[in-house]
Structure 1
Amino acid sequence: MMASGPPFALGVETHEGLHALTRAIRAEEDGKELRKELAKNMREALKPGAAEAKSSIMAMPSSGLMSTAPALRSAVAKKIRPEVKLGGRWSGARVKAFKTKNVRGFPNAPKRLNRAGGWRHPVYGNREVWVQQHGKVDWFDRAFQGREGLYKAAVEQAMEDMARRIASRAE
């Protein structure tokens, strides 16, 4: 690396680049604020994807219990959000559908609704009669189909902007 260049590589589209960027942020005096800002910008880049996934689950047809149980689709939609981690065993940005812990005793609802096989459950709590139920297959995956590159580029752009900002300080 040249002495007059930035303290790290500007190509941050790889995990090594992300690790180099987070190390450079830690080395800065206001590193904590820079790290928060980078995470915020990366989450902002993924928000349109999360909104698309939420609208996809809300478009799933619904029939069943009206007012006696919490709404499954809206509970799953509330648990979809962008996640950014800058360190540890996994570093990166993704849109994740978190578990729905207290909704109808169905903590894996986002995962099961996305599977082609669906899930089995007892009919109205009768443990002797079970049925196989299917959700809207690939509702989560289809929300991102064809747009993966767009979201990846937006996250990479947020990382590149922060890298340039830190590099300009070093000059």
Structure 2
Amino acid sequence: MEFSVDQEALRLLARAMREESDGKQLRKDLAGDLREALGPARTAVRASIMGMSSAGMSTGPSLRKSVAQKVAIQVRMSGKATGATLRTRKTPNIRGFDNAPKRLNRRRGWRHPLWGDVERWVSQLGKPNWFDDPIRRGRAAYRDAVLAAMEKTAKRIKSRVG
């Protein structure tokens, strides 16, 4: 799931910030504003996975909590992939289930051997679209917040220039 603002505009804004005397501070402020703009999306995605039903044994760390903790906002101010991204990292230390976020999000789930019986395999479903649905629902609001953050920084630069 991806939504986009004008990536070229963000790239031009980043270039203008580099040319300013305190461009480093402007970049930090813009990155912080972009993280703040996507904060509600991260909260909604985390709440979505925490809302997944759980019927497993509580012998190890919580799968839902571990996946929720791996949801992060990444901001890049240069390069080909300029922008702010909401992504989730792999979970290598959780029950040997490296791709938990990806598998929990899939409609078809995943297959694994039945506990204690390597001959029998079972299919298991997570919560399909736990990551995509909250983003899809708030897409317009998140886009507007990112554009507002960009506009705020552009106004700061413009006020200094003239």
Question: Which of 62, 74, 86 is matched with 1:71 structurally?
Answer: 62
Say which SS state the counterpart of residue 123 (structure 2) adopts. Answer: strand
Q: Is 1:44 equivalent to 2:42 in the alignment?
A: no
Q: What per-residue deviation string (whole Å, max 9, x for no partner) do you get for residues 36-85 of structure 1? A: 1100100001101110111110010001121x221100000111122211
Q: 1:54 aligns with which of 46, 62, 87?
A: 46
* Counterpart-to-counterpart distance in 2, 1:29 and 1:127: 64
Which amino acid is 2:6 matched to? T
- Taking only aligned residues, the RMSD between alpha carbons, in angstroms, comes to 1.2
Q: TM-score, normalised by structure 2?
A: 0.92
Q: Which has the larger radius of gyration?
A: 1
Distance in 2 between the 1:15 and 1:143 partners? 23
From 144, 148, 157, give the equivalent of 2:148.
157
Stretches of structure 1 lacking an aligned partner (at least 5 in a row): 1-12
Q: Which residue of 2 aligns with 1:30?
A: 22
Partner of 1:8: none
The answer to whether the aligner puts 1:19 opposite 2:11 as a matched pair is yes
Q: What is the one-letter code of the residue matched to 1:75?
A: S
Percentage identity across aligned positions?
49
Name which of 107, 110, 118 aligns with 2:109.
Answer: 118
d(CA) in 2 for partners of 1:53, 1:125: 33
Q: TM-score, normalised by structure 1?
A: 0.88
Q: Which of 62, 68, 75 is matched with 1:84 structurally?
A: 75
* Cα distance in 2 between the residues matched to 1:70 and 1:96: 21
CA positional deviation for 1:125: 5.3
Aligned positions, number = 158
Describe how 1:100-119 pairs up with structure 2 within 5 A: 100-119=91-110
- Residue 54 of structure 2 aligns with an amino acid whose one-letter code is S
Which amino acid in 2 is paired with 1:165? Answer: R
Give 1:133's aligned amino acid: Q
Aligned mates of 2:137, 2:120 — CA distance in 1: 41
> Where does structure 1 differ by over 4 angstroms across 4 or more consecutive aligned residues?
none
**Matches of 1:128 and 1:106, distance apart in 2:** 19
Query: Closer, same or farther in 2 for the Cα pair 1:125/1:156, shift >3 Å?
Result: farther
Task: Report the Cα distance in structure 1 between the residues aligned to 2:73 and 2:107, rounded to whole angstroms.
Answer: 24
What is the CA-CA distance between 1:95 and the residue it aligns to? 1.5
The AA in structure 2 aligned to 1:27 is E
